[in-house]
Each structure stands twice: as C-alpha cells, then as structure tokens.
C-alpha cells in the first residue's frame, strides 16, 4: 500500500461509495486546496465540532478555491460505522449510537436528526476484511512511527511491548480501513489538507483551531 508522506504528492482516497455529491478524487482537484474531513458515524465529537467546522469552511471558502470532502471511516464499532448508516445520515440527517445519545443530551437534534444538512460530498472509506494482511511488518512499523514519535529511543523491552499491543490491535479488527491507514491517521476526527499542486500538507487528529488560518495560507500560495 502507498503510504502518505507530508510534503510529497498525496496518495488517492480509496472509498467504497460516494453517498452525496459526484464521484471524485484528489487527482481531479488539482488547482484547488482540498480539505478531507475524516470522521466516524459513531463519533460524537465529529458531529459536535469537526463537521460543523468543515461545513462553515465550505460555506466561506468554496468560492475561493477550497474543496471540502467528507470521508466516513471505521476502525471500531463496525456495526454502526458503516455504509448504511452513512447513507441515512446523508439522506435525512439520521444519527446512531453514541452520536445519537450525546447529541440528544446536548439538545442538538430535531426529531432525532441533525437540524442541518452536511453541505459537501460524502464517501465511505474502503473497508477490506481483515485476514491478517493488515498486521504485516510494514503496516505495524508505519502505525508505530505515526503514533509513537520517540519509539526508537525507548528501552527494547518497552518497544517490544508496544509492538505486541499493535499486533493485537490489528488482529482484533474485523476490517481495516484503507484510506485511514494509507494516511497514517490516529483517530477521528482527522483533517487532511492537500495543496493546489496535489502535495500533502497536513494530517491532523483532533481539535484544529488553526485550520481556517492554515487554509487561508494555502489558498494564497
């Protein structure tokens, strides 16, 4: 599998279906700054913070050269983080699981549905059945590199323990999400930024308060 590297040409997204908007990919969007918002359907924080942020960026900058894409992925809760639930979300704002519970508690829903429509294209990450191939040495090394920056400086016993934990994680998966792994993402929400030349400029997990400023800078390049 081609792995993403900051500052180099971005690999393509690998998706199973587009449920909203026309089929596209990063190689078709040269000349645009592209924000790929990676989320899980069963991720309350994605709906409380990152998706509203991405929607506002779409409304503000889509006429200035920004394209926003949403990719729903799954690295857990495969019964909820799936294509069927993403399709329901796109069609009528239906949410499930922890997202439904938390947004209900915070009075963010109307008749158990989002009170707004996500305004940008939505796709489902390609989920391949996990048959041990995701736990090969290269994938394990890449996973550790992107999550444990000081791994090589750790004592050998600690390194071995981390490696065993990562192997166990891969072996426990029902599926592996191709785009999620290709970009070395750490969780959801995650934000992928690709510049006008198709170079990967950022992969950030969690809150990103400086995202708008980063996008403005890329639009001016």
Spell out the long-range contacts of 142-147 with Cβ–Cβ below 8 A and sequence spacing 24 or more: 142/3, 142/181, 142/184, 143/170, 143/181, 143/184, 145/184, 146/184, 146/186, 147/186
* pLDDT, average across residues 171-177: 71
Q: Is the pLDDT of residue 164 over 70?
A: yes
pLDDT at 133 over 60: no
The ranges assigned to domains in the chain are 15-126+184-220, 131-172
* Tokens standing for residue 178: 């191709």
Q: CA 153, CA 200: separation in Å to the nearest integer?
A: 28
Q: Where do the DSSP E strands lie in the chain?
A: 15-20, 33-39, 66-72, 122-125, 127-129, 175-177, 190-194, 200-205
- Alpha-carbon distance 23 to 150, whole Å? 39
Nearest to 47 by CA among 97, 121, 111: 97
- Average confidence (pLDDT) over 13-23: 95
pLDDT digits (tens, 9 = 90+) for 139-151: 677 677 767 778 8
Which pLDDT belongs to residue 221? 94
> What span, in angstroms and rounded, lies between the C-alpha atoms of 79 and 85?
9
User: What is residue 172's predicted lDDT score, i.e. its pLDDT?
Assistant: 59
Q: Which pLDDT score is estimated for 160?
A: 84
Average pLDDT, the chain: 90
* Prediction pTM value: 0.81
**Element (H or E) spanning 172, and its range?**
helix 156-172
Q: What is the pLDDT of residues 74-113, one digit of tens each?
A: 988 889 999 999 999 999 999 999 999 999 999 999 999 9
Q: What top-level class would CATH report for the domain 15-126+184-220?
A: alpha beta
């Amino acid at each position: 599998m081609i792995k993403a590297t900051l500052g180099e040409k971005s690999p393509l997204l690998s998706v199973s279906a587009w449920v909203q908007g026309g089929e596209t990919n990063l190689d078709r969007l040269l000349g645009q700054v592209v924000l790929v918002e990676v989320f899980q359907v069963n991720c309350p924080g994605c709906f409380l913070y990152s998706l509203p942020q991405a929607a506002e960026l779409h409304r503000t900058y889509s006429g200035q050269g920004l394209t926003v894409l949403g990719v729903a992925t799954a690295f857990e809760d495969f019964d909820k983080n799936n294509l069927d639930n993403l399709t329901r979300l796109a069609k009528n704002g239906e949410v499930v699981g922890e997202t439904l519970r938390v947004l209900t508690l915070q009075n963010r829903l109307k008749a158990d549905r989002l009170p707004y429509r996500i305004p940008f294209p939505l796709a489902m990450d390609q989920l391949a059945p996990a048959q041990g191939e995701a736990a090969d040495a290269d994938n394990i090394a890449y996973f550790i590199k992107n999550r444990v920056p000081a791994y090589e400086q750790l004592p050998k016993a600690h390194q071995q323990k981390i490696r065993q934990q990562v192997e166990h994680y891969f072996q426990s998966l029902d599926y592996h999400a191709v785009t999620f792994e290709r970009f070395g993402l750490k969780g959801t929400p995650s934000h992928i930024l690709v510049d006008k030349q198709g170079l990967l400029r950022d992969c950030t997990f969690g809150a990103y308060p400086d995202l708008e400023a980063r996008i403005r800078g890329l639009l001016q390049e």
